[in-house]
Chain A
Amino acid sequence: MPDQEREKEKVAPVSIVSEPAAPKAPAAETEDSQVFFGEHLVGLDPSELHGNLIVIEGLDGSGRSTQIALLQEWLESEGFAVQTSGLRRSNLVGRDIDELLAKNAVTRLTLALMYATDFFDQLEHRIVPALRSGAVVLADRFIFTLIARSVVRGINRDYLTGLYAMAIRPHLTFWLNVRPETAFAREFKKAQAISYWEAGRDMSLSHDLYWSFVRYQTMIKREFEVMAKRNAFIELDGEASVSAVNKQLRQRIGEHLGIRATKYTPSSALAHLWR
């Protein structure tokens, strides 16, 4: 497509990047841009939000869920109320997406919009109420994974940032960075198989499952690299041990929440995660 044509399509792109408020913008708008990615979530008064939104991003097999389980226990032991969120967990469309994925009868744009519906349902019914009540929300993935997955499938980045413009900006975004090869080993160990979607098989990258997985996850990783700079990701080495990654997370979160001593040993219920 000629550049000229592409330029014309970029109609009022909504930037995901934190932009300094225009000099003439009213005070309320300045506040909005700190709270939201691009525009105000309909019907939400940002001054009602007292909690903290902490996002953990990373590839499949980067250790997100393990870390979130540990962080939840630690925060609760410190006396913080914790709410979690993740992909496909909404009451509205969570199960529908599972079905669509199982049937593999869905096109990429429809799937992207179903994921957006799932995201906003959880944002409004789970995350916002928790933030109103002053809880800490631990989000297992956020808009970044959703945007990355669609971008690598060829959907315009501006379109996607516009789609998620009403999302609330996290207070902290951690990126557990792992090599796709490590991710493969971990995912395989978990399920003794690699799923269709984890390997990005809809993208026809390779008939070889391993290479399909590695190529797909490398593409996603590259998108994270692009977003990391713009969105102040805190990059952690996801290849390090669970306890080492957890320690770094606790330090940064502790700093943010004003928890001085961040010593923690998991309870017997979670001890198996502590390898």
Chain B
Amino acid sequence: MTDYAQRSEGQLLSALMENQETTVRPPRPEASKTTLPQPGRPVPSRAYPGALIVVEGTDGSGKSTQLYLLKRWLEIGGYRLHFTEWNSSPLVKSATRRGKQKRLLTPPTFSLLHAADFADRCERQIMPLLQGDYLVLADRYIYTAFARDASRGCSQRWLRNLYRFAPVPDIVFYFRAPLDVAVHRILSGRPKLKYYEAGMDLGLSYERTESFKLFQARILEEYDKMVDSDNFVVLDGTLPVNKLQKQMRDIVASKIDLKRFAPRADVGE
């Protein structure tokens, strides 16, 4: 319990909700194994029974494929899980589409709209599921916003405050692939890069492919800065898919007490 009290220094969404009573939460048996939140970390720590696994990395780093395979492994095992993707809340979708089509988005509004999207998923899916003892898998998380929006010129101080309500993941897998590998994967896979995807709003280059490369280089740099401060588990995105997946599964199994998320009927046996 002492251990637990230490871990709940922040209060997730309730960190922003001053008047809210905190709910009674069951202690987590694997508490000592997971990383303790660092003092002064901008995102408050967890205070719920579920677990959150996140993949991050530049476009083309292989993270989505790997998270899909991890999800399949857990699904087949019958674990209680929920999968969530960045930028997918129906609530904000029309605004995001309009903003992109008409090129209305500026660094602050690009950032805020994605934060609204994330807040909606966080309040309505991620938090309730974590409180309801689910394993939540997220394809991209707040670190995507930190890397992307910082590359667009938003300050770290502003960004870290903006996402202060987000629960700290149990594991952040950072798929690191050299820039040319990642860029090649993306360019060979799609006919035309979109305006914001290529970072054209930054005015780095008039040429879309060139702009994309420069933008991705900046993002990669921002990600690298977070490896230590945010306890990223760095994986080599150039390894063969199945090897990488093996590493990922081993780490998940060692860091998270998966038995907790097994079908409820089995728990009592």
Interface residues of A (CB under 8 A from B): 1, 5-6, 8-9, 11-12, 14, 39-43, 91-93, 96, 100, 105-107, 109-110, 113-114, 116-117, 120-121, 124-125, 154-159, 162-163, 165-166
Whether B120 pairs with A107 at a CB distance below 8 angstroms is yes
B:115-163 near A, CB below 8 Å:
115-116, 119-120, 122-124, 152-155, 157-158, 160-162
Given the known interface contacts A91-B102, A92-B95, A117-B95, the answer about A165 and B158 at a Cβ–Cβ threshold of 8 Å is yes
Q: Write the chain A residue with the least CB distance to B203.
A: A43
B:68-104 near A, CB below 8 Å:
91-92, 94-95, 98-99, 102, 104
Smallest beta-carbon distance B215→chain A, Å: 15
Within 8 Å CB of A8, what residues of B? 9-10, 39
- What are 30 pairs between A and B in contact, CB < 8 Å? A1-B11, A1-B18, A8-B39, A11-B161, A12-B42, A14-B157, A14-B158, A42-B152, A92-B99, A92-B113, A93-B113, A96-B94, A105-B91, A106-B91, A107-B123, A107-B124, A109-B13, A110-B119, A110-B120, A113-B112, A117-B113, A120-B106, A121-B106, A124-B108, A124-B109, A154-B18, A156-B15, A162-B157, A165-B161, A166-B158
Whether A96 pairs with B92 at a CB distance below 8 angstroms is yes
B22 within 8 A of A: yes
9 tightest A-B contacts by CB? A162-B161, A113-B116, A117-B112, A107-B123, A42-B153, A42-B107, A110-B120, A154-B17, A110-B119
B16 within 8 A of A: yes
Q: Write the chain A residue with the least CB distance to B106.
A: A124
Interface residues of B (CB under 8 A from A): 8-11, 13-20, 22, 39-42, 44, 91-92, 94-95, 98-99, 102, 104-109, 112-113, 115-116, 119-120, 122-124, 152-155, 157-158, 160-162, 164-165
Question: In the bound complex, what is the Cα–Cα distance between A217 and B213 (angstroms)?
Answer: 52
Whether B16 pairs with A159 at a CB distance below 8 angstroms is yes
Within 8 Å CB of B116, what residues of A? 110, 113-114, 116-117
Smallest beta-carbon distance A85→chain B, Å: 15
Q: Write the chain B residue with the least CB distance to A120.
A: B108
Within 8 Å CB of A1, what residues of B? 11, 14, 18, 22
Whether B104 pairs with A155 at a CB distance below 8 angstroms is no
Given the known interface contacts A42-B153, A113-B115, the answer about A156 and B158 at a Cβ–Cβ threshold of 8 Å is no
Q: Write the chain B residue with the least CB distance to A162.
A: B161
Which of B42, B122, B164 has the most chain A CB atoms inside 10 A of its CB? B164
Which of B22, B153, B157 has the most chain A CB atoms inside 10 A of its CB? B157
Within 8 Å CB of B94, what residues of A? 96
Whether B40 pairs with A96 at a CB distance below 8 angstroms is no
Whether A92 pairs with B105 at a CB distance below 8 angstroms is yes
Question: In the bound complex, what is the Cα–Cα distance between A12 and B161 (angstroms)?
Answer: 8
Whether A154 pairs with B108 at a CB distance below 8 angstroms is no
Within 8 Å CB of B17, what residues of A? 154-156
Which of A42, A100, A158 has the most chain B CB atoms inside 10 A of its CB? A42
Given the known interface contacts A92-B99, A117-B109, the answer about A12 and B160 at a Cβ–Cβ threshold of 8 Å is yes
Question: In the bound complex, what is the Cα–Cα distance between A229 and B76 (angstroms)?
Answer: 60
Whether B112 pairs with A120 at a CB distance below 8 angstroms is yes
Whether A110 pairs with B109 at a CB distance below 8 angstroms is no
Given the known interface contacts A110-B116, A110-B119, A121-B109, the answer about A163 and B95 at a Cβ–Cβ threshold of 8 Å is no
Question: In the bound complex, what is the Cα–Cα distance between A75 and B216 (angstroms)?
Answer: 48
Question: In the bound complex, what is the Cα–Cα distance between A40 and B115 (angstroms)?
Answer: 20
Question: In the bound complex, what is the Cα–Cα distance between A8 and B45 (angstroms)?
Answer: 11
Within 8 Å CB of A93, what residues of B? 95, 113
Whether A159 pairs with B108 at a CB distance below 8 angstroms is no
Partner of B162, one of A39, A106, A154, A162: A162
Smallest beta-carbon distance B86→chain A, Å: 15
Given the known interface contacts A9-B10, A11-B42, A96-B95, the answer about A121 and B16 at a Cβ–Cβ threshold of 8 Å is no
Smallest beta-carbon distance B34→chain A, Å: 19
Question: In the bound complex, what is the Cα–Cα distance between A39 and B159 (angstroms)?
Answer: 12
Whether B157 pairs with A39 at a CB distance below 8 angstroms is yes
